[in-house]
Amino acid sequence: MSSAFMLRRNKGETLRITGYADPKDASVWKEEDEITWYASTGLTTHEKDDALFILYSQIDRGVDRWIQDKRYVPRLLIAAAIFLVVYFFFSLAVRDPLPMVDELVFALAGAIGASVALAKRDKKSDLAMKRRLELKQNASRADFVILEGLSAYEAYLDTCSYLDTLDLADRLAMATDQELPPLDIPQEQRGEWEREFLGLLKKDFSLSRKQFFHRFEQIMAVQRAGKADEALAARLVKLAMHQQLDLPLLAFLVTASKQG
């Protein structure tokens, strides 16, 4: 079973987190895996379409990576053969004032060109198209389930979005006596889904929001050390003012990680 989560925000983009974010995992994706989308309330038709689009996009990237890995050795051997053929052809048939230089240039160009052409062909191969179709058909059968615990996450993001940017940056960098707002989830709504959600969220951000995830790791180091970092607070403010960093989302990830 594969879980996916949708987190709505009043200020900021809706988060759609799935287990298909990493193309490197495509080799272990199974066509028969049941996919379940979790949200705090029922999804509209438009939201379901967006969820399906995200899955389709991630499946396309994953299958492209999977077929490239699967055909790597044959592609390498063909490219090497073309390199040798081109190199020896120009070595024997063409005389030039700089021995080996022209031959190497043409041979490398031929090998690279062949590798690129083969890669494009592989993406459109019958094998890739079959796996792509099987995974997408499975994604289209996804279930949509209400998970009330997610409403606490959405409420936390809303709370942080109304905090002043300077205040929130200082709290993240521990440059003030005030701590980040608490993340309260009713006991009856807690469960293993929290750990699963947080793991998928971190993995997604480490792949798609590398600068964001780097700031998260910096803040977690400061929080663990328990020592204020005024320079980091100033940097966070600057990035937030230029709309290059989502501070409420960062605060949520830090607080959820500390509680998890």
Least confident of 18-22, 84-88, 241-245: 84-88
pLDDT of residue 76: 80
Length of the chain: 260
Looking at the DSSP assignment, which residues form a beta bridge with residue 144?
A: 37
**pTM of the predicted structure, to 2 decimals:** 0.85
Residues 82, 126: one domain?
yes
Number of structural domains, the chain?
2
| Domain assignment of residue 21, given as a range | 1-147
Question: From residue 229, how far is each of 38, 107, 174, 226, 234 by CA, in Å?
Answer: 37, 54, 7, 10, 9
Cα 211 to its chain centre, rounded Å, is: 12
Question: From residue 87, how far is each of 100, 106, 113 by CA, in Å?
Answer: 8, 7, 14
Residues 154, 143: one domain?
no
d(CA 260, CA 251): 14
Q: Final residue of a domain: which of 125, 147, 169?
A: 147
Residues 68-116: pLDDT tens digits? 888 878 888 888 888 888 877 777 766 655 566 667 777 788 778 878 8
Q: Final residue of a domain: which of 117, 147, 177?
A: 147
Residues 129, 170: one domain?
no
Residues 122, 180: one domain?
no
Residues 42, 131: one domain?
yes
Residues 121, 241: one domain?
no
d(CA 104, CA 50): 49
Q: Final residue of a domain: which of 115, 147, 179?
A: 147
Neighbour tally for 127: CB within 10 Å = 13
